[in-house]
Amino acid sequence: MVQWGILNSSHPLTIGDLTWTSDKRFSVSSSNYNRTVERWNLVIDNVQPKDTNTYECQISSIVTRLRLVHLTVLPTQRKISPGVSLKGTTLLDSRGTIIITCNATGAERAPESVDWFHEGSIIRQQSAKWTGRVKISMKADVLRRSLISQLIIERSTLKDRGAYICRSPDKIMKSIEVHILEDNNPPSRAVRNKLSDEPAKPNKAALSTLSFIIFIMAVSVSAT
């Protein structure tokens, strides 16, 4: 006689061909493996995370035999659509550091890598333009099926401004525009206009001299 149950539970799930639980999802199937061996399989329809447990198969004969099977049921993962998102530095001074982060998501698993481009040309850390200034890191998040890649450009120059693109293996791309200001830039026209519209501040020394002259004139008039 073959009996299926949950470990440390006094109530069996199946005994022989009969089901001994009110949960209709449980059943047992049997088949002949060969002339001397039979298979007795516990069947769970519409399996759910709550079914995670250790199940016990007990064979009663002259010698009772037990076999334990541990079942782990993971929650259904929500559907994730492939995509790419970008965020990071968009405005900085010359010789500053550009930091851009790319989050690439895959449909079934995290992408293995992404490609970075500047103004349409792929960024290679070993190239003469970027060597010693560029760092590209990648870190996978298995649960979220995403790859986080960070592009860091140190000691930026005016040649580093423009469009930066992150491209996933699914050929999904996102771009971000980086603006770099020149050193010692003159004030903009708006700033110059604002300064010209402000009234001039009076000179304290000139006011003191004028007050002194008026005082002398007043004394002279009184004396005459």
> For position 122, which CATH number holds?
2.60.40.10
Which tokens is 208 given? 């003191």
Residues 90 and 170 occupy one common structural domain: yes
How many domains does the structure of the chain reveal?
2
What is the pLDDT at residue 42?
Answer: 93
213 falls within a domain: no
| pTM of the complete model beyond 0.75 | no
Residues 93 and 123 occupy one common structural domain: yes
What is the pLDDT at residue 143?
Answer: 81
What is the pLDDT at residue 201?
Answer: 55
Residues 60 and 87 occupy one common structural domain: no
What is the pLDDT at residue 167?
Answer: 96
CB 23 within 8 A of CB 46: no
The Cα angle at residue 172 between residues 171 and 177, in degrees rounded to 5: 120
Neighbours of 102 (CB within 10 A): 28
What is the pLDDT at residue 202?
Answer: 53
CB 56 within 8 A of CB 67: yes
146 falls within a domain: yes
What is the pLDDT at residue 199?
Answer: 53
Residues 67 and 87 occupy one common structural domain: no
Which tokens is 143 given? 């649960």
Residues 31 and 94 occupy one common structural domain: no
**Phi, psi dihedrals of residue 163, rounded to the nearest 5°:** -90, 130
DSSP tally for the chain: helices H, then strands E = 2, 16
What is the pLDDT at residue 136?
Answer: 96
List the domain range (segments joined by +) for residue 143. Answer: 83-181
DSSP assignment, residue 30?
E
One pLDDT digit (tens) per residue for the chain, 224 residues: 899 999 999 899 999 889 999 999 999 998 876 767 788 899 999 999 999 999 999 988 777 788 999 999 988 767 778 899 999 999 999 999 999 999 999 988 899 999 999 999 999 999 999 999 999 999 998 888 899 999 999 999 999 999 999 999 989 999 999 999 987 655 455 444 444 455 545 555 544 554 544 444 444 444 44
Closest CA to 112 of 140, 150, 86, 85: 140
Residues 6+ apart with CB under 8 A from 194: none
Closest CA to 151 of 116, 178, 176, 118: 116
Residues 99 and 174 occupy one common structural domain: yes
Closest CA to 165 of 207, 131, 116: 116
What is the pLDDT at residue 216?
Answer: 46
